[in-house]
Amino acid sequence: MAKQPDLTESPTPSATALAAQAGLGQWSGWTFVPYRGLGYKKWKDCRLYLYAGGVVITDNRVGFEITRDWANTRVLEYRRTINGSTKDARYTLIDPAGVGVSIGPGGRTFLKGDKQMHGITEVLSGAPFLYPGDWGNYIQDGITKTQLPSVLARIERGESVRFGAFTADRHGVTGRKRTAA
């Protein structure tokens, strides 16, 4: 039986400094590592560190360390489930400049139209981290808890709020061809 990864591996000094600089707050105590095995060796030194206010993603194969904070990050999720369990998932965390980093074991390719619709200028391919159902839910919850109050306040003031191809306002949600009230 393969050894289970240590999910409590402390962040590196550089990841800790990046998190502090970005104001991400306390480390959650969770660090995720990539899948192990044939074909995954190139990802072995990559890490996903979860913080109270965001994430730090390190990828030593191409030399990037990226932060994403809950207040300014958009997330696109591709999740495949089998019998109610997450089989694989790919999350793309997009910063205000439109730079996305895709992480997780699932496959998701953005076509030119997808990138335009979501305001994506560039997509970096990150590691296939283990347990996407756990860290993916943590990311979704963090972003929702942080951004939802201000989004609801904007709608209550009569503003429209865009979510990719959808617009929400006081009257409902409008897509490309339909409106739901």
Query: What is the SS3 string spanning the chain?
Result: CCCCCCCCCCCCHHHHHHHHHHCCCCEEEEEECECCCCCCHHHCCCEEEEECCEEEEEECCCCEEEEEECCCCEEEEEEEEECCEEEEEEEEEECCCCEEEEECCCCCCCCHHHHHHHCCCEEEECCCECCHHHHHHHHHHHHHHHHHHHHHHHHHCCCCEEECCEEEECCEEECCCCEEC
Task: For residue 147, tell me if it sits in a domain.
Answer: yes
What is the pLDDT, as a whole number, of residue 69? Answer: 97
Q: How confident is the model at residue 2 (pLDDT cuts 50, 70, 90)?
A: very low
Tell me: pLDDT of 104 over 60.
Answer: yes
Report the pLDDT value the prediction gives residue 6, as an integer from 0 to 100: 67
Say which residues have a Cβ less than 8 Å from residue 178's Cβ, sequence separation at least 6: none
Whether 48 is covered by a domain: the verdict is yes
CA distance 60 to 43: 8
pLDDT band at 53 (very low <50, low <70, confident <90, very high): very high
pLDDT band at 4; cut points 50, 70, 90: low
Sheet strand arrangement including 179-180: 161-163, 166-169, 172-174, 179-180
Give the chain's end-to-end CA distance (angstroms, integer).
53
Confidence of residue 5 (pLDDT cuts 50, 70, 90): low
Residue 40 lies in a domain: yes
Is 3 among the domain residues? no
Place of tokens 């997450």: 86
Q: Which residues pair with 163 in a beta bridge?
A: 166
The domain of 131 spans 13-180
Q: Is residue 7 part of a domain?
A: no
Tokens representing 11 are 């962040």
In a domain, 126, yes or no: yes
Evaluate if residue 156 carries a pLDDT over 90.
Answer: yes
Query: For the chain, what is the domain count?
Result: 1
Mean pLDDT of 104-111: 78
Identify whether 4 is part of a domain. Answer: no
Residue 6 in domain: no
How many C-beta neighbours within 10 Å does residue 103 have?
Answer: 29
